[in-house]
Amino acid sequence: MIPQESKRENILFFDAGPIITLVMSRLAWIIPELKKRWNGRFLITPAVKFELVDRPLTVRRFEFEALQVLKMIREGVIEVFEDISKSRVDTLIQLANSSFQIDGKLLNVIQDGEMESAVGSIALGAQGVVMDERTLRLFIENNRGMKALLERRFQKRVTPDLRKMDQFSSALEELVIIRSIELVGVAYSLGLLDGYIPEGKKGREQLLDAVLWNVRYNGCAVTEQEIAELKQFLLEKR
């Protein structure tokens, strides 16, 4: 969930994935609504802007999605934060991407946008980074689980470098990661989705089931059990 307000400036960094998920789920409109209610700043980094706007503007299939994000940038809903330490980003990417090998070859597991978002979040003391990809979250919270995840993903034996894994996890241990599905949960709690509730005794349950699964199908890395737990929590809360 979005962290509660504190005395410091409210800041959230966004990776590309959650914004893409919300756009593809037809839920991008909740981003400005959440920003108004939270009274904070929503930031993206140059690498994330490249993924969301610059590159997709050159591909017809994704051009309109890019224009939707560009509109939010133009209106100040999302700001591009450029003061990112490139040396820090490069150091952490090199560390992460030399932590695992398949057939003697190093495996790239972290991308520029993810790392810039994490570095920016820590540098500004942000309340967190919104990120749907499960790799970085697992790397920080349970790096020993990375081997199994990567072996499932690539169907090959993975050789980890435990020392480098621990160095990377330690460097980012203070990072708070939020997923797009949790933003949707906040939107529901605030009543932003009430207009979609169908008639009937289980209208709220049907809405939550529909919207949470919609977010999963459009890219948010979340398990069926996590959806069930979030749904139950939200129903009990309201």
| pLDDT tens-digit map of 43-60 | 999 999 999 999 999 999
Max alpha carbon distance in the chain (Å)? 58
CATH architecture for residues 1-177: 3-Layer(aba) Sandwich (3.40)
Residue type at position 191? G
User: What predicted TM-score, i.e. pTM, was given to this entire model?
Assistant: 0.91
What one-character DSSP code corresponds to residue 53? I
**Dihedral Cα 179, 145, 127, 87, nearest 10 deg:** -110
Instruction: Say whether pLDDT at 6 is over 50.
Output: no
Residue type at position 237? K
| pLDDT tens-digit map of 71-99 | 999 999 999 999 999 999 999 999 999 99
Q: 27: how many CB neighbours lie within 10 A of its CB?
A: 20
Q: 10: how many CB neighbours lie within 10 A of its CB?
A: 17
Please list, residue by residue across 207-229, b when 16 or more beta carbons sit within 10 angstroms of its beta carbon and e when fewer do. bbeebbbbbbebbbbbeeebbee
Q: Which residues, in sequence order, are bridge partners of residue 160?
A: 100
pLDDT of 1 reads: 52
**Under 8 Å between Cβ of 46 and 116:** yes
Domain ranges in the chain are: 1-177, 180-237
Q: What is the DSSP string of 90-123?
A: HHHHHHHTTSEEETTEE-----HHHHHHHHHHHH
